């Protein structure tokens, strides 16, 4: 009877060790999977932000072009002449400051 008790005790220890190792393996597998999912998610977010950055840069360039157009001397001269009814000063109207 003692022999059977020792054998059962030995079996229980083997099963406990086996279950412990399988539990550790399962936890490591879950941790690895979670890490990979996070890596993929962050990769998608980085791609999305890179696309957003490019669209903002494009928009900024378009705004710079529009600003340059709005500041152009030809456009300002046309507005001064047609909307504000201004004219180029004659030499008599000019005062030269020494």
pLDDT digits (tens, 9 = 90+) for 6-34: 777 888 889 999 999 999 999 999 999 99
pLDDT of residue 91: 87
Instruction: Please state, in angstroms and rounded to a whole number, the distance separating the CA atoms of residues 36 and 73.
Output: 58
70 is a domain residue: yes
Beta carbons of 46 and 54 less than 8 angstroms apart:
no
Neighbours of 89 (CB within 10 A): 9
Q: Please identify every stretch of the chain with a pLDDT value under 70, giving residue numbers as ranges.
A: 1-5
92 is a domain residue: no
Instruction: Read off the DSSP letter of residue 88.
Output: P
Number of domains in the chain: 1
Range of the domain at 35: 2-82
8 is a domain residue: yes
6 is a domain residue: yes
93 is a domain residue: no
98 is a domain residue: no
């Amino acid at each position: 009877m003692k022999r059977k008790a020792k054998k059962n005790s030995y079996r229980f220890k083997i099963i406990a060790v086996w279950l412990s190792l399988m539990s550790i393996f399962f936890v490591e597998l879950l941790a690895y999977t979670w890490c990979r999912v996070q890596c993929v998610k962050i990769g998608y977010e980085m791609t999305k932000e890179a696309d957003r950055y490019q669209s903002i840069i494009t928009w900024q360039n378009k705004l710079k072009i529009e600003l340059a157009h709005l500041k152009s001397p030809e456009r300002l001269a046309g507005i001064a002449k047609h909307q504000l009814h201004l004219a180029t000063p004659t030499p008599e109207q000019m005062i030269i400051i020494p």
